[in-house]
Structure formats: C-alpha cells, structure tokens
Amino acid sequence: MRRRLFSLGAMAAVLTGCGFKLRQTGDYPFKSLYANFQLNSPLGSELRRNLLGTGKIELLTDPAQMSKADVILDILSEVRQPVVVGLNASGQVREMQLRLRVNFRLRTPSGDELIEPVEMYQQRDLSFTEVAALSKEIEQAMLFRDMQLDIVQQIMRRLAAVKPRKPLAAPAAAASQP
C-alpha cells in the first residue's frame, strides 16, 4: 500500500514538474456573444453547448438583443457532402469521402470584423460495402459528428485568440457616455 501511494505521489510530482496541466477554457476578450446561427442544427447545438460551457460568455439568441452583445458570431454556411470516390467493376460504391465545410465570421454590432469570413474544412475517407449498408450509414453519421466536433473546437480556439483593435465596451455603457 505504501509503495502504491509513493508511486502515485511520484507521478503527480513528475507531471507537475514538466509543466503538464489540464486543458482549460480560453480567456475571451468579450463577455456576451449573439448567436447568429441555427441553434437547433447539429453544429449550432454543439457550438451553443461549448459557448455556454465556458462559463465566461453570455449567449444571446433573441434578435432584439443583438445590439447589446459585445460580438456577433455568424455561421455563413454549413455544407455536408458525401462524395463517391471509388466504384467496383459492377458500378457499386466502394469508397466515399465525407466533407464538411463551415464558413463563419465574428463581428461587432457596429460592423467591425474581428474574424473575417473564414472557411473550416474537414474530410474523412469511408470504405463502403452493400452487405453492411446500415452499419456504414451509422459510421458515416459518427464521422460527420467527429468532424463537426473538430470544427467547433477550432472555432472556439479562434474566438479565444481574438485580439480586438480597440477595447470592446458594452454597447449600453458606450451609449450612456457623453
């Protein structure tokens, strides 16, 4: 028992000494974000979950509140494409490529772009067989979800890396100043 406790303590000391620390939520230069995207879409619900999960960002969804937000996140497009890339001699699908493209931008209510329109792209290869069509359909859904999670994480990292040219002030506070 002592040996086990000693080894656990030694492992903790080694991990702390090498600079290891768990991934933390980023520091965002804004406090409120207006979600200008479909919250009920798969990508929208994942983005919403991640934004609320930070505990640092107030997510506004009512269009009347858009002018009160520090920033506006626009999802300009989301395209999911299953593309056939390989056929066998009898013309049956043997290989597919799954593609997910998401275009987004981040701007202030006054129109200043903090992140200009950018495209995120993910692709995965999927072998296909008619014998296991149902399982391949499930695998396709899982691969699309995996790509979606990757893109959402990339968007969250880009949001955390935003460096506004001028400090973001709450629109209500800016309006009340002479």
Sign of torsion, CA 62 63 68 70? Answer: positive
pLDDT tens digits along 81-92? 999 999 888 888
pLDDT tens digits along 119-178? 999 999 999 888 888 898 999 999 999 999 999 999 999 999 998 776 665 544 444 444
At the topology level, CATH places domain 28-164 in Double Stranded RNA Binding Domain (3.30.160)
* Between residues 7 and 17, the one the model is more confident about: 7
pLDDT score recorded for residue 62: 92
pLDDT at residue 53 tops 50: yes
Which pTM does this prediction carry? Answer: 0.76
- The domain spans of the chain are 28-164
| CA triple 95-96-101, angle to 5 deg | 160
pLDDT at residue 79 tops 90: yes
pLDDT tens digits along 102-113? 999 999 999 899
Phi, psi of 44 (to 5 degrees): -65, -40
The pLDDT-based confidence of 14 (bands split at 50, 70, 90) is: low
pLDDT tens digits along 37-50? 998 899 999 999 99
pLDDT tens digits along 59-73? 999 999 999 999 999
Distances (CA, A) of 52 to 10, 155, 171: 36, 14, 21
pLDDT score recorded for residue 142: 95
